[in-house]
A = this chain, B = another copy of it.
Amino acid sequence: MSGSLVIAGLGPGAETLITPEVTQALAQATDVVGYIPYVARVAERPGLTLHPSDNRVELERSRHALEMAAEGRQVVVVSSGDPGVFAMASAVFEAVEAGPPEWRNLDIRVMPGITAMLAAAARAGAPLGHDFCAINLSDNLKPWDLIKKRLRLAAEADFAMAFYNPRSKSRPEGFARTLAVLNDACRDARPVIFARAVSTPEESIRIVPLPEATPDMADMRSVVIVGSSTTRIIHRDGAPFVYTPRSVPA
């Protein structure tokens, strides 16, 4: 039997946010590969081998998955959220491009998932209802100067912004610098949504005006959404709704 490699998105956490397509791929897999906490979300069963691996070994993990697919196994690489958004799909294609030519003609498919920013946006209302951008704030992967440039241009374009990987123990200062750039560029009190562990039992949503946002409000399980200049808050009993109107008048 020919091998295959599926790169699948498990969504933000809840079982009810995993697409049937991904559930079916997992049911047919012989091997599941991924970062430890994501592989832990896949149920064990006879005939399935789980291959959890540590963070920051994305290329090794990709090569391992490709080798097993080339040997004829049905391999699923799991990501949280959507595999194409700051997750495993790009890592696998980096490994394909740098690897042996025969890897290019493997049966490789990407299966989308509910990415963190869309799950977070849904919880808050519709903050991404108009033009927006998504930026990975990890400066493991690019220089801080490029992040800063993108933040300034995104503010000038008046995009709403979604930030992945806002903060880690190894980079405690990066998110503080991000907030400083945004306050300087935006100079208003647009809402900032700190969404942590959306759709899991540890979920929390916190909404603050930009000048009151502080770095400790985010961690590596958070996605942060910053409104555009037109984003609005609807106050009500309980948590407010935050939404960005669809139109900008001429």
* Dominant secondary structure of chain A at its interface with chain B: mixed
Does B17 lie within 8 Å of A112, measured CB to CB?
yes
* A-side interface residues, number (CB < 8 Å): 79
Q: Is the CB of A96 within 8 A of B234?
A: yes
A244 in contact (CB, < 8 A): yes
Contact of A114 among B89, B112, B244 (CB under 8 A): B112
Listed stretches A33-41, A46-54, A116-124, A214-222; interface member: A116-124
The answer to whether A14 and B21 touch (CB under 8 A), given A94-B243, A128-B84, A154-B157, is: yes
Q: How far is the CB of A244 from chain B (nearest CB, A)?
A: 6
* Set of chain B residues within 8 Å of A129, measured between Cβ atoms: 84-87, 89-90, 93
In the assembled complex, the Cα of A153 lies from the Cα of B152 at a distance in Å of 10
Interface assignment of A141: CB less than 8 Å from any CB of chain B? yes
Question: What chain B residues lie within 8 Å of A127 (beta carbons)?
Answer: 84
The verdict on A115 contacting chain B, using a C-beta distance below 8 Å, is: yes
Q: Could you say which of B82, B110, B125 contacts A110, with CB atoms under 8 Å apart?
A: B125
> A18 and B19: CB pair below 8 A?
yes
For chain A, residues 9 to 58, give those with C-beta under 8 angstroms from any C-beta of chain B: 11, 14-21, 24, 58
Q: What's the minimum C-beta distance from A112 to chain B, rounded to whole angstroms?
A: 4
The answer to whether A105 touches B237, judged by C-beta atoms less than 8 angstroms apart, is yes
Question: Complex: how many Å from CA A83 to CA B129?
Answer: 8
Copies in the complex: 2
A154 nearest CB neighbor, chain B only: B157
Is A1 among interface residues, defined by CB-CB distance under 8 A? no
The minimal Cβ–Cβ distance linking A140 to chain B, given in whole angstroms, is: 8
Shortest beta-carbon distance from A85 to chain B in Å: 6
Q: Which residue of B lies closest to A136 (CB)?
A: B131
Contact A97 B234 (CB under 8 A): yes
Chain B nearest CB from A43 CB (Å) reads 15
**Residues B134 and A132 in contact, CB atoms below 8 Å apart:** yes
Contacts of A153 in B (CB 8 A): 153-154, 156-157
Give A101 Cβ to nearest chain B Cβ, in Å.
Answer: 9
Tell me if A159 is interfacial: C-beta within 8 Å of chain B. Answer: yes
Q: List 24 A-B contacts (CB under 8 A).
A: A11-B19, A14-B21, A15-B20, A16-B24, A17-B112, A18-B20, A19-B114, A83-B122, A84-B127, A89-B129, A90-B244, A93-B126, A93-B232, A105-B236, A109-B122, A112-B121, A113-B114, A128-B134, A131-B136, A133-B154, A141-B247, A141-B248, A143-B248, A153-B157
